[in-house]
Structure 1
Amino acid sequence: MKDKTKDEYKKELQHIQSQINIVKRLDIVNTQLHDYNWVFLHPYSQGMDIEILQNIINTNDDAEYNIFKFFARKFLDLRNTIHFIEGFFPTRPYIKDYINPIKESVILCLQKDFRGAICILIPVIEGILRKCLVDKDGEHKKHVTDIKELLKSIDRLTDEYVFLQQRYMKSKFLFLINENAYFDSNQEKQILKKHREYYTIWTNQFRNYMSNNLYLNTKKVSINDSFNRHVIFHFLEDDIDFSFANYLRIYNSIIYLSWAIGLVCEECSILSVANEEVVKYEFANYLNVLFVSESLTDIKSEIYNTELQSFNELLPPEYVKIISKPTRHINRGLSLTDFLKK
C-alpha cells in the first residue's frame, strides 16, 4: 500500500507540473506581448494560440498590427463571443450581476463606439473585484476603491483554489485506495504548493496589468500607457486612445476573471452552458448589429472627424458574404438623404 501511495504521489506531481509547464509557455508569450502594449492571453487560450503569437512576434513582420488582428478576429468570431456572454458570464458569481453592462459594451464595440464601450466596461472590472472581496472579507469592504485592496480578492480566490484542490485530491485518492493510505503531510504540502504555483502564474499576469497599466496611480509615477483608468475618467490627457484594440484589452480581462472565478466555484462548468438555440438566435442579432455598423462607418467617420476602419478584413470570410447583401440594402436606404448635403 505504501508503494501505491508513492506512485500516486508521483503521478499527482507530474500531472500538475505538466499543467504548469503549459502555462509557463503561455507566460513567455504574455511577457513578449507586454512589449507591444498588449495584455495577457486569457486561460481559455489553446496551444495553437501560443504557436500563432510566437510566430507573429518572432517574424516581427508588422507584429503590433498582427497581434491586434489575432485578438480582434477571436472577438469578432461572434459565436465564440456569444458563448462567453450567454454560457460563461451568467454562471459566474460576481460577474453575473454585470451581464447587461457587458452586453451593452459589446454592442457599442461592434458599432465602433469604442469610447462608450470602454467607459462602460472598466467599472465592471472594479465591481467584480469588489463584490468578490466583500463576499470573502465582509461588508466593510463595500466601498473599497484602491486597486491594492481590490486585488486582495485575487488572494482570496487563490487560497480557495488551493483548498478546493485539497478536497478534490482527498476525494479522488480515497476512492482509488482507502482512507488509511492518504498522502503524508509533506506530500500533500508539496502537491498543494504546485497547485498554488499554477494558479498564481495566471493571477500574476492579471495583477501586473491592473497595477502597472489600467489602474496605475498616475499621481505617484509617470505612465507609459495612457490607457489608464485615472487618465480616462479625469481626462488628464487629450489623446487617449479609445480604440478597438484597447477595448479588447479590457474585454479579455473580463474573460480572465470568468476563468479565475469559475475555477473556484464548484457549480461552474468549465464549458459553456449556453443553449445552442440561444446562440443561434443571438448570432443573428449580433450580425444585424454588424450590418448596420458597417453601413454607418463612413458616416460616423465624418461626424467624429476621425477615420474608422471597416471590420471586413477582421471578420471570418463567411461573415463577409452573409453581410454584403443586407449592407447594400442599408446603404441604399441611407443614400436617400444625400440630397440634404448638397
Structure 2
Amino acid sequence: MVILLKVPPKSMFKFMCVSKPWRRPISSRKLVKAHLKLTANDKESSHHRVIFQDSTGNFKVSRLPPLFQRGQKTELFDMGSPMENPTIYTRIVGSVNGLICLYSNLEEPVLWNPTIRKSKILPTFGAKLRRDCSYYLNYGFGYDESHDDYKVVAIQCISDDGGSYDTVVNIYSLRNNSWRTIDKFQGNFLVNSSGKFVDGKLYWALSADVDTFNMCNIISLDLANETWRRLELPRYGEGSYPLTLGVVGSDLSVLCPNCHEVTNSDVWIMKDCGAKVSWTKNFTIDHPKDLGEFIFFSPIFSVPSCQSSKGEILFLLPPVIMIYDSSTRQLEVAVPSEECFAAEIYVESLVDPVLIAHNH
C-alpha cells in the first residue's frame, strides 16, 4: 500500500489494466482517496495540470510548474474531448479531485477524468428541465465530503410571455446517478455562469438587474445540507461595478476594478468563519487599460488561480495565461495563445466517475 501511494497516477492506471487481482486494490475507495491526498498536497505541484480548450472544442494539457518558469517553452499535449460533438460552445464548469465537469448546449453534462481517460455522461434532466424557454442556465460542480459524493448543480431561470421569471434548481448526485429538484434561492439573477467551489460550497455572484453584470451580493449553496446563504460583498468603494468571483489558493476571491479608468484592480479574499464572513484586500494588480472591463468581465473569464512558491499567482485570462508578480504588481503574459477559449487547473487522480456511479 505505501509503495503504491508513491506511484504516479498514470502508472497506477496502467497497473490496473494488468489483471483483476491488480485492479481491485488499486481501484479501492481507500487507496484512491489516500493517493489523491498525497498528489493534491504535493508542494512542487508536479501532479497539477492546466487544461486548455481550443476553437474546435478539443483540449490540450500542460504541466503546471513550467508556466511559472519564464523563458521555458510550455509543452501542450492533445487530450481530445469526451463529448461526442465538441464545439466552442462546450464549457468547463470546474474541477474537483481530478474530475472535470463539462457541459454543452447540444449534449448532457459530462464528468471526465483526463488522467485515466474515463468519463461519465450524466443522465438527462427529463421533464425537470425546460430547454425551450430557458432565459439562462448556470452550472456548478463540487464535492460533498460528508457523503463522499460529487454533485453537479444546474440553475435555470425560466421566462414566460409576460416578462416574469422563475428559477428551478436541479442537483445531480454521482453516487446516486440521478437528478432531483431542490429549494431555490430567493430573488436576483446570477452573474457568473459557473459556480466557484470552495470548501464544500458553491458560490455565485448576484445582480439585481438581469440586463447588467453589476453585483449586489453573493449566494452560496452548501452541498452537504443543500441550504442557501446570502453573503455581503467587500466594502470596496462607492458606485456599482461589474465584479468577478474567483479562487485564490483555497479561498473565494473577488476581483474589483478601481475607478472608471480600470488601470488596476483589487483582489479581495473571503474568510468564512461560520456565522461571520470577513473580507481582506489581498493585493492590487496594475494592468493596461485595454485589459480592463472587456477581458476581466467577459462571460468566458475565470479566475481559477494557483500561487507559486515565490508568491506569483497564475491567472487564466483567455485567450492568454498571465502571471501576477507581487513584487512589481504587474501582469505578465506567460502563455500567449490565439486559440485558448477556456482553461482550468486540475490535479491528477485515480477518481473514476463511472466506477462511483456503478457501485451504488
**Which interval holds the TM-score relative to the shorter structure?**
under 0.3
Greater strand share, structure number: 2
TM-score computed with the length of structure 1 as normaliser: 0.26
Greater helix share, structure number: 1
The higher relative CO (CA closer than 8 Å, separation ≥ 6) is in 1
